[in-house]
Amino acid sequence: MIIVSDCLKQSLDEGSIKLASTLAKKLKQLGATVVATNCDCDYADAVVRANKSYTNKELYQAISAGEGDILYIPFASNTLGTAIRVLHLTLMAKKKVSVIFTMKWKMNFVTWLIFYMSKCQMITISEGSYNFFKSKYPKVRMINIKTGVDVTRFCIASEEKKAELRRKYSIPLDRDVLLHVGHLKHGRNVDAFLALDEKYYVVLVFSSVTEKDVELQKELEKKKNIKIIYDYIPNIEEIYQASDIYVFPIIEENNSIDIPLSVLEAAGCNLRILTTNYNEVAYFRPTTGLFRVDLINKSNISELVDNVVDLKSSSTRDIAGMYDWSYATEELQKFIECDR
């Protein structure tokens, strides 16, 4: 297998980057060749400065050095640019191409047609997106994979460990701590935290690689019960283990990848989770500690959190077990190497 991706980076604090980088590393351990385009990647077999349409000679020289078919993991998901690159990979590499869609954007007829002409195989990461693409391309070979968390790394911490981590990150020991990890922008609906009752303490960890909404940043920084972390934290599992409740308030489509990895990581640490029914979250099996609602906003966030706090037990880790990275790598290998 040859993995081609433009989002293989060291700082894994963005969903598409984390998904692409983690899958690439794990598949490389199983023998895959990794070709990174337009990003510095210290574990790639080749790093190529490719043009936007993927027509340059150096890219195909790097691909030809590997064996097997191509798995393309684009940062941009199913855009027109991705469709053009997939078509060129198919025609110029003369190999079967499979492409992972981390989100589902609306497609015009040209984009739809180019994907169809490329004869690519399609891989989704949520059941909702699988149904969407299957309706567009009923004859295309397609698979949905469940992936997104390392359940060994993201695990339950003892009360002693939790207290130790709170001291390490200057988080109060005597407060109910809420956590959100993601992007600092209105589309993520994080402004809902501005209206949260101040008896709760909030930790917000924002991506270091994406643009921040400056005005929203200023508003959040004024709140005494909100701690904001802007730096990339390699051991991000420690922040989850120091918290009590994970809040995922996103409502609008395409403000997160289809399977919010932060929700899975919170589940791995067995946190109680308050979340909207965003894409794959709607397909999680019900379990103690998982609270799914249609809407989280300034008018209802305090009441919703009160209800979550009242329930002390949680078994959300049961959800995470179904989405461990190892299952996805096995499925991807079977899918891509089929008929070879």
- Report which secondary-structure segment, H or E, holds 111: helix 109-118
pLDDT digits (tens, 9 = 90+) for 216-236: 999 999 999 999 999 889 999
Q: In this structure, are 133 and 215 located in the same domain?
A: no
pLDDT digits (tens, 9 = 90+) for 94-129: 999 999 999 999 999 999 999 999 999 999 999 999
**Total tally of structural domains belonging to the chain:** 2
Neighbours of 294 (CB within 10 A): 7
Vertex 140: Cα angle to 138 and 144 (nearest 5): 90
Q: In this structure, are 19 and 126 located in the same domain?
A: yes
Q: In this structure, are 287 and 179 located in the same domain?
A: yes
Residue 154 lies in a domain: no
CB 307 within 8 A of CB 301: no
Q: In this structure, are 60 and 201 located in the same domain?
A: no
pLDDT at 340 over 90: no
pLDDT of 12: 72
Split at pLDDT 50, 70, 90, the class of 10 is confident
DSSP 324: B
pLDDT above 70 covers what percent of the chain? Answer: 99
pLDDT of 51: 95
Neighbours of 158 (CB within 10 A): 9
103: three-class secondary structure by DSSP: coil
Residue 33: what are its φ and ψ, rounded to 5°? Answer: -95, 135
Residue 13 lies in a domain: yes
CATH number of the domain bearing residue 308: 3.40.50.2000
Q: In this structure, are 115 and 8 located in the same domain?
A: yes
Q: In this structure, are 143 and 73 located in the same domain?
A: yes
pLDDT of 186: 83
Q: In this structure, are 174 and 96 located in the same domain?
A: no
**Sign of the CA dihedral running 209, 210, 215, 221:** negative
Match 């497609």 to its residue by tokens.
Answer: 107
Pairwise CA distance, residues 36 & 34, whole Å: 6
pTM of the complete model beyond 0.85: yes
Please give the residue range of the domain that contains residue 290.
159-321
Q: In this structure, are 137 and 176 located in the same domain?
A: no
Pairwise CA distance, residues 192 & 318, whole Å: 28
DSSP 174: S
pLDDT digits (tens, 9 = 90+) for 300-323: 999 999 999 999 899 999 999 999
Q: Minimal CA–CA distance to 325: which of 123, 154, 147, 152?
A: 147
Q: In this structure, are 118 and 167 located in the same domain?
A: no
Residue 272 lies in a domain: yes
Q: In this structure, are 166 and 298 located in the same domain?
A: yes
Residue 152 lies in a domain: no
Q: In this structure, are 278 and 264 located in the same domain?
A: yes
Q: Name every residue whose Cβ is closer than 8 Å to that of residue 222 and which is 6 or more positions away in sequence.
A: none
Match 């300034």 to its residue by tokens.
Answer: 298
CB 47 within 8 A of CB 41: yes
Q: In this structure, are 176 and 272 located in the same domain?
A: yes
pLDDT of 339: 59
pLDDT at 211 over 80: no
Residue 153 lies in a domain: no
Q: Please report, for residues 17, 27, 56, 65, 82, the alpha-carbon distance to residue 62 in angstroms, rounded to integers and kept in the order given.
A: 21, 17, 11, 5, 19
97: three-class secondary structure by DSSP: strand
